[in-house]
């Protein structure tokens, strides 16, 4: 039987070929062995190690031991039971003690004050006036304003005056102005390029990717380096592929005409913190491939 050549993924890189025992040892050394992708000739695509029968059988004992150690480490420590202190002994007041004497005197004074407040002849409030009360004058006719008292119980109430409606003007706060983009398309710096996340698929002769833009840029073009699996190894293309959003590809004549008619126009692209598609012609689909964003262009935030 020919010696099997295994490959495994470490981060965004392919490692291998390695023999089977070395593969198991390398997978167990990863932070999450269950999620490590492996491949060998005969597989349709990269597969998680625990889903491959021969690899899963070798990983199972180590993963079970690691899970038990993790559960034991996270188990909360049992605190010793708390013993309540014995209740303090309270001695009752003896008859004739100063506490009883002064307490009785204070209680008697409080009762006398309450009775005096209840039965004290308080003055009655004056009766409300029966007519208009002048404000600022000697009579209701000469006063600049009068107060009309409420009618007694059972009397017919005077119709209320309806005040004129007051028109108020509400000033709306100014709407926030969205941050603009630079006028010229430039290349993303490496720190921003690492914030792009992508998933790739081959459809016919086109390479298509779903990309999450974690930068503050509007991304208009991606340059992707493709590696194709040939003769048990990956061979990278000599030049990266240019990928753009769907429907953006135009021929050279149309692009030149647009640049003359609207020189300040901005290309469509993937906005900041958004997810969208990019595609480009890449040729026939290989048996297996890998793709990595090498560079990108777009409009920087102002």
**How far is 45 from 202, CA to CA, in rounded Å?**
13
Please determine, for residue 174, whether its predicted confidence score (pLDDT) is greater than 50.
no
Q: How confident is the model at residue 95 (pLDDT cuts 50, 70, 90)?
A: low
Average pLDDT score over the chain:
79
- For the stretch 46-78, pLDDT in tens is 998 888 888 888 888 888 888 888 888 887 655
Please determine, for residue 19, whether its predicted confidence score (pLDDT) is greater than 90.
yes
pLDDT at res. 212: 96
Q: Are 62 and 34 in contact (CB under 8 A)?
A: no
Q: Are 250 and 215 in contact (CB under 8 A)?
A: no
pLDDT at res. 156: 57
Q: Among 23-37, 42-56, 129-143, 205-219, which is the least confidently predicted range?
A: 129-143
pLDDT at res. 133: 56
Q: What is the mean pLDDT of residues 185-189?
A: 95
pLDDT at res. 91: 53
**30-34, 85-89, 151-155, 293-297 — which one is most confidently predicted on average?**
293-297
Residue 113 in tokens: 């004050």
Give Cα 160 to chain centroid, integer Å.
56
3-state secondary structure of 197: strand
The two most distant CA atoms of the chain are separated, in Å, by 125
Q: Which residues make beta-bridge pairs with 15?
A: 8
Please determine, for residue 167, whether its predicted confidence score (pLDDT) is greater than 80.
no
Which distant-in-sequence residues (6+ apart) come within 8 Å of 221 by Cβ? Answer: 242, 243, 244, 269, 296, 297, 298
pLDDT at res. 217: 95
Please determine, for residue 165, whether its predicted confidence score (pLDDT) is greater than 60.
no
> Higher pLDDT residue, 143 or 239?
239
pTM: predicted TM-score of the whole model, two decimal places:
0.41
Number of continuous H segments (helices) and E segments (strands) in the chain: 5, 14
**How far is 95 from 102, CA to CA, in rounded Å?**
12
Q: What is the mean pLDDT of residues 19-25?
A: 90
pLDDT at res. 177: 37
Neighbours of 200 (CB within 10 A): 19
- For the stretch 234-282, pLDDT in tens is 889 999 999 999 987 766 676 677 667 766 678 899 999 999 999 999 9
pLDDT at res. 178: 41
Q: Are strands 37-40 and 47-48 parallel, antiparallel or unpaired?
A: antiparallel
Q: Are 243 and 203 in contact (CB under 8 A)?
A: no
**How far is 67 from 64, CA to CA, in rounded Å?**
5
């Amino acid at each position: 039987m020919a010696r099997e050549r295994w490959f495994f993924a470490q981060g965004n890189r392919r490692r291998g070929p390695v023999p089977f025992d070395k593969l198991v040892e390398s997978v167990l050394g990863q932070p999450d062995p269950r999620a490590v992708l492996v491949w060998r000739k005969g597989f349709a695509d990269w597969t998680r190690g625990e889903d491959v029968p021969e690899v899963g059988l070798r990983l199972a004992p180590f993963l079970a031991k690691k899970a038990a150690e993790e559960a034991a480490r996270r188990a909360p420590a049992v605190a010793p039971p708390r013993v309540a202190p014995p209740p303090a002994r309270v001695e009752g007041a003896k008859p004739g003690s100063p506490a009883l004497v002064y307490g009785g005197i204070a209680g008697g004074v409080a009762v006398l004050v309450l009775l005096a407040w209840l039965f004290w002849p308080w003055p009655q409030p004056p009766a409300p006036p029966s007519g208009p009360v002048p404000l600022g004058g000697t009579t209701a006719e000469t006063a600049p304003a009068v107060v009309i008292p409420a009618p007694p119980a059972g009397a017919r109430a005077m119709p209320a005056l309806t005040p004129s409606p007051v028109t108020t003007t509400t000033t709306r706060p100014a709407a926030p102005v969205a941050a603009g983009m630079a006028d010229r398309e430039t290349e993303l710096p490496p720190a921003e390029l690492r914030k792009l996340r992508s998933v790739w698929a081959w459809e016919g002769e086109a390479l298509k990717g779903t990309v999450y833009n974690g930068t503050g840029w509007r991304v208009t073009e991606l340059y992707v380096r493709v590696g194709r699996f040939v003769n048990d190894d990956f061979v990278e293309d000599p030049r990266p592929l240019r990928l753009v959003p769907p429907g953006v590809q135009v021929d050279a004549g149309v692009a030149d005409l647009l640049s003359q008619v609207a020189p300040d126009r901005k290309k469509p692209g993937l906005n900041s913190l958004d997810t969208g598609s990019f595609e480009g012609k890449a040729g026939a689909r290989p048996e297996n491939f890998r793709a990595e964003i090498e560079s990108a262009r777009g409009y920087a935030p102002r």
